[in-house]
Structure 1
Amino acid sequence: MKKLRESTKFMTFTSQESLDPADWDSLREQGHCMLDDMIDYLRALEQRPVWQPIPDLVRASLREPLPRAGSELSEVHQIFMRQILPYAVGNAHPGFFGWVHGGGTAVGMLAEMLAAGLNANLGGRDQMPVELELQVARWMAALFGFPDTASGLFVTGTSMANMIALLVARRRALGPEVRRQGIGWGNRLVAYTSSSAHGCIAQAMDLAGLGTAALRTVPVNESFEMDTTALEAAIVEDRAAGRVPFMVCATAGTVDVGAVDDLAAVSAVCQRHGLWFHVDGAYGALAMLSPQLAGRLDGIQQADSIAFDFHKWGQVPYDAGFVLVRDSEMHQQTFALPTAYLRRDERGMAAGSPWPCDFGPDLSRGFRALKTWFTLKVYGSDRLGEVIAATCALARYLAQQVAARPALELMAPVSLNIVCFRHRGVDADSLNAALVADLQESGVAAPSLANINGQLAIRVAVVNHRSGERHIDALLVALEELAQARLAAQ
């Protein structure tokens, strides 16, 4: 990366009327400098470590009292470049494999800048930013085979999207009175998900007032997919005990090994028993963009709701979660408020009802849709689908390389883009935990750990569009060198 540029002009914010600069040309110059630095950063990512520990002095440097007087923008920018940017988690780097974090794009970064400049509040009102969010929702409805009348909403991430879907399912189960009387008004509800599901499902049950004990954990089969026979048996057992089953949450891309539940089979169970069929597709749902992978999600078209993130496989910068609901009326009835300050009219700025705030808990909402719309418009769904398929191909490549090395063993089937394996050895759990930390601190690659059938495994999630075979090779070379050093020291 080029040497950091220093601003050549002293920029002051002296206006008594606003926080705008006294010299817009100086702001423009500094803004160009900041943009150039970020483009240089993205362009030269591979020349940097994936991640590096934060030095004590750097960590301590930010621990200061609340600033009473302002500083030069250029000075604050330099603090960012020298003390913040080098010590981020590193998910933009092609060697980042630790968690299912998307890599983002320069296009998304620029769109985020436009959104910040516009500073639109997408809670409601008659404005084109809301229309753009509605357009993305229509695109997603078409992608997943939902009706044109389906509703969609941008949220922070799939944790919140799952929460919203659960609340809509709760509203359907208990009726409109639940919003006034609370959950004590109805019978005890129970929901179902697999033992490999993300912890946010249990958290949603907690936050919805239903309690984590009301979430039945269904075992998985040898492919780490929900056992639908066990699911149906649990539903029958709960009904016989006087409980009220109301929702099944299937997973498209589990957090541990990337497994996809048999969505068609889960859908059939839900239809037989009249349950809400929800899919947590945090990253896996966007496999629908790839013709090579879409068949893996057969049955998702029958879902009542789907939660997913554009900021994972969609490569949109954080954050851009999304929830899609088949029954838009039920969705709206779950959240809409008849408050005076949200008055709707047929004309003027209060037109355009219903508004996004009628479909979720947030009145103040950022313009997440813009960076998503830019990403879809600039790259197109076909190209994004190719990127998704390429990450799965890289995962298969890694699995082949693991199989070819006697010192390594595969710990789970490779369903999509996640590979779980480990280095053999005495006290293998301790060895592999140390090797993952060694790899992260090396700056070459950053995998994470997963517990697979009670054993620790090295977990590699290939999500970044920048990753290639050379980055997989670099990870394996570094792993072998680190392992040899540790084993030799024993």
Structure 2
Amino acid sequence: MTEQSNARGGECAGSLEPADWQVFRKQMHDLLDHCLDRMVNATEHPWQSPPDNLISVYGIGRGGDLVARLTEQVMPYHSGNTHPQFWGWVQGSGLPSDLMAGLVGAVMNANVGGRDHGANAMEHAVIDWTRRKMGMRPGASGVLVTGTSQATVIALQTAKMRAVPEMRSKGGGASLTVYAGDRVHNAIRKAVELLGLGHNALRLIPTDHGKMDVQALVQQIAQDCADGFLPLAIVGTAGSVDIGSFDDLNALADVAQARNIWLHVDGAFGAWTRLADDPWRSLSDGIERADSIALDFHKWMYVGYDCGLALIANEAEHRAAFAVRPPYLEGFEAGLSGGERWFCDYGIDLSRSNRALKVWCALEMFGEDAFAAAITRNCAQAALMADLVQSHGMALVAPVVSNICVFTARPDLSPQEQSSLNRQIAIKLQLDRGPVFSTTHVSGITCLRAAFANHRTRDHHIHTAIQNVKALAENGLLANGE
């Protein structure tokens, strides 16, 4: 169909096509130029406070020049993680390849729940590449999801079905227990609750220097077995969200294997140390022995939101936990209803976007080595920040293990004063459109925290940020909360 005939179709009342495709083509080119300009000049666009009236500005039905509204009213009020001095939480920075993936994905509008089309093959390819990078054996399974939180639910549901297969029909599970370090991400608690176990079933094991105490784990499992509980899963952490520490995954795998307990690894960002140079690569040794891994591409693989993965070592167990095919989803030997596998059989979503397209475009555009270099560089940048923190008279509150640096700006103050000052420094820098730190609590002190998952960060950004923090820390008014 020609552009002109489409344009005529757009004149019909209620049409959802442009009235003039040539005008729309021009608008798209203008918008693409704006988007590229913002990516090229990401350093000029830090987070800024959105105006108080933004909800009314976005009111439905206002119409107008949509390109102008997008560039002037929408794009300026982003969350900041595209900026090279954004180190708050663990958020990826997004990639130019995402533009390509977004355009092609919008045009194709694929539903990757199943059926025989290219998006399914692409998801297969991305999952298999990740399986090999994580060291899992052939025959492993996976499904792309919104992120590690959803991946954790899928992994633990698979574990639950292996432990008690009849639960899928009968429900229950009150006697099951899950074990994790006491600083584990709250996605684990949410998953345990969503699976109907109740958060009292989550046994939080003490950590020692960021690692789960394996002897305490063994003792807790023995006690639970004696009390009539059924240990379901051990959750190992590859990159804790607060200080970036790693459990001894080989030690946890030994415990799980000896007692036939499922080993799940929360590798939201830290799993990607498998691509890094040593010594950081060895932090995740043992991850290949896991029964399941949850990880994100939108964190330390830098692709756009959202894109996570549940990786399961045993495909048959994975499918058994989720597959159900009503008549309207019947598969045929040929045609659009053919093809294997249907990803709706491996998770909770039937309607699914082509998340694999972002990962595939990124790897094809830049190559695996570029990601390995960026991840390695981020670890070195965290170490650089640690050196600068100490050379400027501030103090680390935990060793820098991977890509996270946590520190306090005035160690000479009381814990309460340190906490107040660190909070105010974080807020002040953000409101001034400067470096973005988040905060966490260590030893009763609210500390400044930088998580390096940003491919745009360069060393000079870190030098400037620490100078800014030091200048604010020396301002006595801030220490008094003024």
Please give the TM-score of this superposition, normalised by the length of structure 2: 0.94
Residues 486, 55 of structure 1: alpha-carbon distance in 2 compared, 3 angstrom cutoff? farther
Residues 488, 342 of structure 1: alpha-carbon distance in 2 compared, 3 angstrom cutoff? closer
Match of residue 178, structure 1, among 152, 159, 167: 167
Question: How far apart, CA to CA, are the structure 1 residues paired with 2:407 and 2:274?
Answer: 27
Backbone CA RMSD of aligned residues: 1.8
Question: How far apart, CA to CA, are the structure 2 residues paired with 1:159 and 1:153?
Answer: 13
- How is 1:122-133 mapped onto 2 (pairs within 5 angstroms)? 122-133=112-123
Residues 372, 488 of structure 1: alpha-carbon distance in 2 compared, 3 angstrom cutoff? closer
Question: How far apart, CA to CA, are the structure 2 residues paired with 1:58 and 1:16?
Answer: 31
Question: How far apart, CA to CA, are the structure 2 residues paired with 1:489 and 1:476?
Answer: 17
Aligned residue pairs: how many?
469
Q: Does residue 35 of structure 1 match 2:24? A: no
CA displacement at 1:22 relative to structure 2: 2.7
Match of 2:44 in 1: 47
CA displacement at 1:378 relative to structure 2: 1.4
CA displacement at 1:24 relative to structure 2: 1.3
- How is 1:302-313 mapped onto 2 (pairs within 5 angstroms)? 302-313=289-300
Question: How far apart, CA to CA, are the structure 1 residues paired with 2:197 and 2:54?
Answer: 44
Q: Does residue 152 of structure 1 match 2:149? A: no
How many percent identity over aligned positions? 38
Q: Does residue 200 of structure 1 match 2:187? A: yes
Deviations 1:389-445, CA, capped at 9 Å, x for gaps? 000000000000111122x11000101000000111341111111111111111110
SS class of match (2:288): helix
CA displacement at 1:127 relative to structure 2: 0.7
Structure 2 unmatched ranges of 5 or more: 1-6
Question: How far apart, CA to CA, are the structure 1 residues paired with 2:333 and 2:53?
Answer: 59
Match of 2:362 in 1: 375
CA displacement at 1:484 relative to structure 2: 2.6
Match of 2:246 in 1: 260
Match of residue 233, structure 1, among 201, 219, 227: 219
2:236 maps to a residue whose letter is A
Question: How far apart, CA to CA, are the structure 2 residues paired with 1:475 and 1:278?
Answer: 37
Question: How far apart, CA to CA, are the structure 2 residues paired with 1:489 and 1:414?
Answer: 26
Question: How far apart, CA to CA, are the structure 2 residues paired with 1:29 and 1:248?
Answer: 55
Q: Does residue 445 of structure 1 match 2:435? A: yes
SS class of match (2:441): strand
* Alignment check: 8 A CA contact 1:11 1:27 kept: no
- How is 1:241-320 mapped onto 2 (pairs within 5 angstroms)? 241-292=227-278, 293-320=280-307
Match of 1:114 in 2: 104
Structure 1 unmatched ranges of 5 or more: 1-9
1:296 maps to a residue whose letter is L
1:243 maps to a residue whose letter is F
1:87 maps to a residue whose letter is Y
Match of 2:3 in 1: none
Residues 337, 431 of structure 1: alpha-carbon distance in 2 compared, 3 angstrom cutoff? same
* Alignment check: 8 A CA contact 1:12 1:23 kept: no
CA displacement at 1:55 relative to structure 2: 2.2
SS class of match (1:190): strand
Question: How far apart, CA to CA, are the structure 2 residues paired with 1:255 and 1:126?
Answer: 39
Match of residue 334, structure 2, among 347, 365, 386: 347
Please give the TM-score of this superposition, normalised by the length of structure 1: 0.93
CA displacement at 1:383 relative to structure 2: 1.2
Question: How far apart, CA to CA, are the structure 1 residues paired with 2:251 and 2:171?
Answer: 33
Match of residue 164, structure 1, among 139, 154, 157: 154
CA displacement at 1:230 relative to structure 2: 0.8
Match of 1:7 in 2: none
Question: How far apart, CA to CA, are the structure 1 residues paired with 2:28 and 2:406?
Answer: 43
* Alignment check: 8 A CA contact 1:290 1:382 kept: no
